């Protein structure tokens, strides 16, 4: 009976690289799916994130963004 360590020791370099490629593709796919899910809920996430700051703002004031790219995160 061979263990997984024995199987890893017997793999060639190209087999190791193929396994690494498949793991990277799965990881990038998971990150892309996670990003898509999180981006679809951006408004509730932003509301939750900014709620403590908005509570302490004086009446009639709103949040401002001081650089161009900051506003694009919460459009």
Does pLDDT of 27 surpass 90?
yes
As a whole number, the mean pLDDT across the chain is: 84
Does pLDDT of 28 surpass 90?
yes
Q: How far is CA 10 from the centre of its chain?
A: 35
Give residue 50's pLDDT: 84
- Host H or E run for residue 40: helix 13-40
Answer yes or no: are the C-beta atoms of 71 and 65 closer than 8 Å.
Answer: yes
Query: What number is the average pLDDT over the span 48-74?
Result: 81
Query: What number is the average pLDDT over the span 70-74?
Result: 68
The whole-model pTM stands at 0.57
């Amino acid at each position: 009976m061979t263990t997984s360590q024995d199987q890893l020791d017997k793999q060639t370099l190209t087999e190791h690289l193929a396994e690494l490629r498949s793991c990277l593709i799965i990881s990038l796919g998971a990150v892309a799916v996670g990003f898509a899910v999180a981006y679809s809920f951006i408004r509730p996430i932003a509301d939750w994130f900014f709620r403590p700051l908005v509570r302490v703002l004086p009446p009639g004031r709103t949040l401002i963004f001081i650089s161009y790219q900051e506003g694009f995160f919460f459009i």
